[in-house]
Amino acid sequence: MRAPDGQVRRAYAALASLLDNLSIESLVTKQNAAEELFRRLGITFAVYAEGGSTERLIPFDLIPRILDRSEWDLVERGCLQRVRAINIFLYDIYHDQEIIKAGLVPPELVLLNSAFRPEMLGIEPPNNVYAHIAGIDLIRTGERDFFVLEDNVRTPSGVSYVLENREIMMRLFPDAFAGQSISPVGNYPERLLENLRAVSPSGAEDPVVVLLTPGRYNSAYFEHVFLAEQMGIELVEGGDLFVRDGFVWMRTTEGPVKVDVIYRRVDDGYMDPLAFQADSTLGVPGLLGVIRTGRVALANALGTGVADDKAMYVYVPRMIEFYLGEHAILNNVHTYMLRDPKQRQHVFDNLHNLVVKEVQGSGGYGMLIGPASTAEEREAYKRRVMRNPENFIAQPTLALSTAPTLIDGEIVPRHV
């Protein structure tokens, strides 16, 4: 919100003026009203821990984070560039593997990766698109210093909370938006549906698109319901679909309906019990065979997880140069590969200043945050790393930028 000299940045001028004229009490009242709206609308997510899971409201802060047009253009161009390169990489590794032949990516990082699906070798996905939806995690360290923290191209989630946050903020804080030229987000479901329809293998004018959910106990089930409703498509579970005569069909009260596109929110291993995890009830028996013949499109495609592995992340700038002939617009955070003995020793010597992650980890699970850890925790983590060094990477902690945030009745800076 403020430059190093303390002056309010131009993009925040109207908001700063508005905040100066509002009391803390009125902000707290609006914050409480927002949380009540979230509660009434059921906007929650599940947090899993030992002993089960609990439903929590999505954290919401009333004070918006603002990017001016030039900042957003930088982020948009950088993310588009990155996703284009990742899609080409995915096509390449499931076909000619030119990037491996060129020596730019170690073959073991691909071929021995638990997210690599040999079953997808040679398969031609509609329009050669693997990652139809991507979630690129960004951090900011300065006015125009954005870094990619990780790429999410398996089954990205969280967009519904962005849409609901914007809607509720505009409802409770209309003065912050008045007279501003703000890029809309409310058309996301419409654009997502266009994206999904565009990859229909049938070429039908009105293809049948469904959203496949693991069910109501999934942590992102609210989002599954929300997006299906907003797009006007059927929300289905594995038991609602079946394979017959080489096509995927949906059970309905009026008889079977052929499905053209499946927007799946189910992990690879559960998608087809005949090909992957045999006891899965979340997927569709025989689905992989239909994918092979090109008679159904899956978004995102099976096997995309190899591209968002945290060890593969290191090589995305190389992918951009190799496939696009461009330099990366958005930088990576410097990353140490613990599979390398020299890098591993450096990490162990500086563990108190680093963050260590599992390469296939997600949601913050399995991490060690060095500055917040005890000596005993660090020693225990070293032993864990040594059991399988290939499974870990490490990154430095960065001095992140801050934004004003309403916390316990006070406006205080928090990292973003």
Q: HSE of 101 in the Cβ direction (CA atoms, 13 Å)?
A: 6
Mean pLDDT of the chain: 91
**Among 56-70, 238-252, 368-382, whose mean pLDDT is lowest?**
56-70
Q: What is the pLDDT of residue 361?
A: 75
Q: What is the pLDDT of residue 39?
A: 83
Contact 309, 337 (CB under 8 A): no
Rounded to 5 degrees, what angle do the CA atoms 357, 305, 49 make? 50
The residue among 323, 252, 349 whose CA lies nearest residue 93 is: 323
Could you tell me the two tokens for 11? 């993009």
CATH architecture type of domain 334-396: 2-Layer Sandwich (3.30)
Reported confidence tier of residue 404, pLDDT bands at 50, 70, 90: confident
Q: What is the pLDDT of residue 41?
A: 77
The reply to whether the predicted model has a pTM over 0.85 is yes
Q: What is the pLDDT of residue 175?
A: 73
Q: What is the pLDDT of residue 141?
A: 87
Helix/strand/coil percentages in the chain, nearest 5:
40, 20, 40
Assign domain 187-299 to a CATH class: alpha beta
The residue among 300, 197, 308, 210 whose CA lies nearest residue 258 is: 210
Reported confidence tier of residue 47, pLDDT bands at 50, 70, 90: low
Could you tell me the two tokens for 79? 């993310």
According to DSSP, the residues that pair with 209 across neighbouring strands are 261
Tell whether the model's pLDDT for residue 50 goes beyond 70: no
pLDDT digits (tens, 9 = 90+) for 364-386: 678 999 999 999 999 999 999 99
Asked if domains 187-299 and 334-396 share a fold, the reply is no
Q: What is the pLDDT of residue 335?
A: 96
pLDDT digits (tens, 9 = 90+) for 112-156: 999 999 999 999 998 899 999 999 999 998 777 899 999 999 999
Q: What is the pLDDT of residue 409?
A: 84
Tell whether the model's pLDDT for residue 204 goes beyond 80: no
Mean pLDDT to the nearest integer, 178-182: 79
Name, in order, each residue with C-beta under 8 angstroms of 327's C-beta and a sequence gap of 6 or more: 317, 320, 321
Q: What is the pLDDT of residue 52?
A: 56
Q: What is the pLDDT of residue 240?
A: 98
Q: What is the pLDDT of residue 322?
A: 99
Reported confidence tier of residue 212, pLDDT bands at 50, 70, 90: very high
Tell whether the model's pLDDT for residue 202 goes beyond 80: no
Ordered by start, the domain boundaries in the chain are 187-299, 334-396
**Among 75-79, 218-222, 234-238, whose mean pLDDT is lowest?**
218-222
Q: What is the pLDDT of residue 334?
A: 95
Tell whether the model's pLDDT for residue 98 goes beyond 70: yes
Reported confidence tier of residue 363, pLDDT bands at 50, 70, 90: low
Q: What is the pLDDT of residue 35?
A: 84
pLDDT digits (tens, 9 = 90+) for 52-62: 566 777 778 88
Q: What is the pLDDT of residue 142?
A: 79
Mean pLDDT to the nearest integer, 245-263: 97
Q: What is the pLDDT of residue 251?
A: 98
Tell whether the model's pLDDT for residue 51 goes beyond 60: no
Q: Report the interhelical angle of 24-41 vs 159-172 (nearest 10°).
A: 130
Tell whether the model's pLDDT for residue 342 goes beyond 60: yes
Q: What is the pLDDT of residue 410?
A: 85
Mean pLDDT to the nearest integer, 229-237: 98
Q: What is the pLDDT of residue 19?
A: 83
Q: What is the pLDDT of residue 256?
A: 97
* Residues of the chain above pLDDT 90, percent: 66
Q: What is the pLDDT of residue 379?
A: 96
* Residues of the chain above pLDDT 70, percent: 97
Q: What is the pLDDT of residue 64?
A: 85
Angstrom CA distances, 201 to 117, 208, 261, 291, 298, stand at: 21, 11, 8, 10, 10
